[in-house]
Amino acid sequence: MARNSDVNEKELLLELSQGSEPAFTTMYNLYKNNVYSTALRITRSKIQAEEAVQDIFLKIWQNRENLAEVTHFENYLFIISRNHLFNSIKKIARETSLVSKNDLNETGFIDTDLNIKDEQYNTILNQIVEQLPPQQQKVYQMAKRDGLSHQKIGEDLGISTETVKKHMAQALKFIRIKIAPYMNMFMSLLVFVKL
């Protein structure tokens, strides 16, 4: 993914995490074409691809407070896009299955296959999370599963917010490295489904 080398991604993410709209616009302009082309390849619909870009970047804006600790925005964007596109395909499959019995058979297979792949992804992710040191595992689960803020996690565990951020950054780095080999498998399914 080509990126302007003059742009300091770490600074942009920090500004974006603090609610900077110009930083968001810059990130949007840097990555929108890549997200659009991936979504178009999967959905085969310009309208759905455009909607996917809007929805994905809306999620990024809504979760902007967590962006300061993201070290590889492309990977972060990839995972958000993957989850969104999985959910979109499942929704489309369910809606399409209402049209006729023949469609039900075909899209039912796709929906089942996607559910299986989604479960496999979650199983792999859970196995990786279980490999984290106990404190990192606790912090990660409280943030991701329970949706708690860094401040709340710090209060609950009796540690500083900075320590929570450090644990979270280390956990995310470990997970990203461990899950990378599986990513092509899950993305290839998305492309296969629409071929």
> What is the per-residue pLDDT across 99-158, written as a single tens digit (0 to 9) for each?
544 444 444 444 555 555 567 667 777 888 888 899 988 998 888 778 888 889 999 999
Burial of 165 (0-12, 13-18, 19+ CB in 10 A): middle
Q: Which fold has domain 9-194?
A: Arc Repressor Mutant, subunit A (1.10.10)
Sketch the domain layout of the chain as residue ranges.
9-194
- Cα separation, 105 vs 98, whole angstroms: 11
Where is pLDDT greater, at 124 or 25? 25
| The one-letter amino acid at 168 | M
Model confidence at 163, pLDDT cuts 50, 70, 90, reads very high
Q: Whole-structure pTM over 0.85, yes or no? A: no
Largest CA distance in the chain: 57
